Amino acid sequence: MEDVLVPIFVCGFLFVAMPWLILHYITQWKKSGGITREDEQLLDELHEMARRLDDRMNSIERIIAADNPGLELRRPAPDYLETKIRGEIQ
C-alpha cells in the first residue's frame, strides 16, 4: 500500500502543487506593479540626503583630526577614486 501512495503523492506534488505555487507567486509579483513615481522620488531624495550627511561627517572628521593629530578615526576614509568614477565629486 505504501509503495503505491508515495509515488502518487510525489507526482501530485511535482506536477500540481509546485507549478500552482510558482504560478501563484508569479502572478502576485506581476500584480505588485513595481515602484511608483512617488517612491522613486522619495528614494532619490533619501539618497541625496545620505550623500550630504556623509559629506558632513567627512568634514567634521577632518576638522577633528586636524585639531587632534593623535586621534584615530573609526570610519574608513571615503574612496574618492570610486566616487570620482561615478561622477559624484566635481
Contact present, 15 and 7 (Cβ < 8 Å): no
In a domain, 13, yes or no: no
Q: Which DSSP state fits 77?
A: P
Torsion of CA 69, 73, 78, 79, to 10 degrees: 80
Overall number of domains in the chain: 1
In a domain, 68, yes or no: yes
In a domain, 84, yes or no: yes
pLDDT digits (tens, 9 = 90+) for 46-77: 999 999 999 999 899 889 888 888 877 666 66
CB neighbour list of residue 58: distance below 8 Å, 6 or more residues apart: 78
- Cell numbers for 81, please give them: 577614486
pLDDT digits (tens, 9 = 90+) for 18-46: 999 999 999 998 888 788 899 999 999 99
Domain that holds residue 64: 38-90
- The b-or-e profile of 28-53 (16+ CB within 10 A means b, else e) is eeeeeeeeeeeeeeeeeeeeeeeeee
